[in-house]
Amino acid sequence: MTETADILLVDDDVLIQLMVEDVVAQMGHRFHCAADGAQARAALKRQRFDLVILDRRLPDTDGLLLAQTIQADARAPFIVLSSLSASHDQLLGLGLGALDYICKPVEPALLRARIAKHIDAPREAPEDRVVTVGTALQLNTQTRRLSVDGRTEVLSPAESRLLVHLIHTLDRPSDRLEISKAICGREWVYGDRTADVLVSRLRRRLAGSAVEIVTVHGLGYLLTVKPEG
Amino acid sequence: MTETADILLVDDDVLIQLMVEDVVAQMGHRFHCAADGAQARAALKRQRFDLVILDRRLPDTDGLLLAQTIQADARAPFIVLSSLSASHDQLLGLGLGALDYICKPVEPALLRARIAKHIDAPREAPEDRVVTVGTALQLNTQTRRLSVDGRTEVLSPAESRLLVHLIHTLDRPSDRLEISKAICGREWVYGDRTADVLVSRLRRRLAGSAVEIVTVHGLGYLLTVKPEG
DNA sequence: GTCGTCGTTTACATCGCGTTTACATCTTGC
DNA sequence: GCAAGATGTAAACGCGATGTAAACGACGAC
């Protein structure tokens, strides 16, 4: 399970929004936010979520009134995060189908653990993430296996990230700053040759294939499909 | 599920015992009770439970120390019911694999709702007694006997669970988090080398067979069938 | 109690790989 | 054509990840 999930927070408290966003981001999932019932319904209609975190006190409704919509239409699992902590409130939430009922205030680490319990459970069979360039090249970003020219190469993590980035920006040149960020997540500083060395290594891996990494002098690199030949 | 389940309470507080017994009986499940760690171990050895409810403060131990036994041997789901309500206590419990962490005091109705969440959850399909990889390898998960390369090896429980997991995810890499969950039912924390050691031991067992465990550097491991040779 | 089993932790050897260095080669602007 | 800077790439470096033997500690058997 290295799959990223989509998590929707329904809460109008900005401090909670920031905290949850931080937690969700750290877990490697995608964060979405709705500040009231109307926004929540719109979001739920727009896309599917792997988990919804509901506050009860919303500007325009009680969060639990969304529960029905969530279950009937979106069929998404949800948990309640509320300052209404009385037993009968918790009972109501759990009775309406909440997977969990967490009382504010809650520490980020604990929220994270609770979220993890429910995200990890209903995980689909993790699909292999494969990116391709036509029929010339297939890269499994999980195993980092690259099928090319009939062979199979196993890339290093950085090589894999570089190739993914180049494929995403096919035919468009990337400068070193962009590449450095995509590969190592840091700023490029003058004199850093890491990208160049990785490009060099990747070129050898791609030898004989239908694609090539072209140097754009004074700028950076781009991946392109070789003209017939 | 509408079937009656067996629920074990591990708690020495008579008032709690009475309350939980009442709740469990009302739900139509069978109630079992252990007043300390020793009794709990004995009970877990004697029979299988659908849910274990653990107190932390026990006469002879911390309830969480039973977590390992519960998961390793009995593979029973468990929740913690404790008056230790600090965030780090809850984190510890959830990290060790508890499905839920309920803080005392708790009202019967709320406890009932929480229990229902975990009892009603879809029970895992009973696993195959024998799992195989082609004709190369057969593992009886009951006796933990592994037929491989003409020999018969007897695996330890953890080795067996690891191999089962790797077979279920054949040719797909599993990270340490996934492996740790599958083997020990708990979160993986940075620095935990248990999985690595087990992989190492399992590799020795599999020596000479047609399969091998390959390392995916920076990620984890995967089981694959060796190419001809 | 002692002993055996087994999961875990510790310790250390080894390896992989991102990075740096060094130098060859190429591009560009003059 | 030439100098200056940019790029290509082999080799070396070093840190963190992995392999694994051994120690440890909890538990069950007796």
Q: Which of B91, B114, B116 sits opposite A109 (nearest CB)?
A: B91
Res A27 pLDDT > 90: no
Six-digit token pair at A86? 């009385």
CA closest to D10 C1', residue: A197
Amino acid B136 CA to nucleotide C18 C1' distance, rounded Å: 38
Q: What pTM does this model have?
A: 0.84
Res B152 pLDDT > 60: yes
Res B158 pLDDT > 50: yes
Nucleic strand C contact set for B 137-156 (CB, < 7 Å)? 156
Res A3 pLDDT > 80: no
- Give the model's pLDDT for residue A33: 96
Q: How far apart are CA B168 and CA B179, in angstroms?
A: 12
Res A126 pLDDT > 70: no
Calculate the alpha carbon distances from A148 to A138, A177, A200, B226 in Å: 7, 28, 17, 21
Q: Is the CB of residue B224 less than 8 Å from the CB of residue B212?
A: yes
On whether any CB of chain A is under 8 Å from the CB of B110, the answer is yes
Q: How far apart are CA B112 and CA B126, in angstroms?
A: 26
- Give the model's pLDDT for residue A72: 79
Q: Is the CB of residue A143 less than 8 Å from the CB of residue A128?
A: yes
Q: Which of A87, A94, A117 sits opposite B94 (nearest CB)?
A: A117
pLDDT in tens, A157-212: 999 999 999 999 999 999 999 999 999 888 899 999 999 999 999 999 999 999 99
- Give the model's pLDDT for residue B169: 93
- A99 vs B87: CB contact, 8 Å cut-off? no
**Dihedral pair phi/psi, residue B225, rounded to 5°:** -85, 130
Q: Parallel, antiparallel, or unpaired for β B211-216 and B220-225?
A: antiparallel
On whether any CB of chain B is under 8 Å from the CB of A152, the answer is no
Q: Is the CB of residue B184 less than 8 Å from the CB of residue B174?
A: no
Identify residue A98 by its one-letter amino acid code. Answer: A
Q: Which residues of A touch B178 (CB under 8 A)?
A: 1
- Give the model's pLDDT for residue B121: 59
- Give the model's pLDDT for residue A2: 47
Q: What is the DSSP annotation of chain A?
A: -----EEEEE---HHHHHHHHHHHHHTT-EEEEESSHHHHHHHHHHS--SEEEE-SB-SSSBTTHHHHHIIIII---EEEEES--SHHHHHHHHHTT-S-EEESS--HHHHHHHHHHHHHTTPPPPPP-EEEETTTEEEETTTTEEEETTEEEE--HHHHHHHHHHHHTTTS-EEHHHHHHHHHSS---TT--HHHHHHHHHHHHHTTSSEEEEEETTTEEEEEEPPP-
User: In chain B, which residue's Cα lies nearest the Cα of A144?
Assistant: B216
Average pLDDT over residues B95-116: 94
Average pLDDT over residues A81-102: 94
Q: How far apart are CA A104 and CA A100, in angstroms?
A: 13
pLDDT in tens, B29-60: 999 999 999 999 999 988 889 999 999 999 88
pLDDT in tens, A142-161: 889 999 988 899 999 999 99
Res A124 pLDDT > 60: no
Report the nucleotide nearest the CA of residue A197, measured to C1'.
D9
- Give the model's pLDDT for residue A28: 81
- Of B2 and B144, the structure prediction assigns the larger pLDDT to B144
Question: Assign residue B21 a region: left if phi > 0, alpha if psi is -120 to 50, beta otherwise?
Answer: alpha
Q: How far apart are CA A45 and CA A43, in angstroms?
A: 5
Q: How far apart are CA B136 and CA B66, in angstroms?
A: 37
Six-digit token pair at A148? 């090319």
Question: Assign residue A29 a region: left if phi > 0, alpha if psi is -120 to 50, beta otherwise?
Answer: beta
How much is the mean pLDDT over chain B? 91
Confidence of residue B72 (pLDDT cuts 50, 70, 90): confident
Confidence of residue B69 (pLDDT cuts 50, 70, 90): confident
Six-digit token pair at A114? 């609770």
On whether any CB of chain A is under 8 Å from the CB of B182, the answer is no
Confidence of residue B75 (pLDDT cuts 50, 70, 90): confident
The bases of strand D with some atom under 7 A from any protein CB are 6-11, 17-22, 26-29
- B91 vs A110: CB contact, 8 Å cut-off? yes
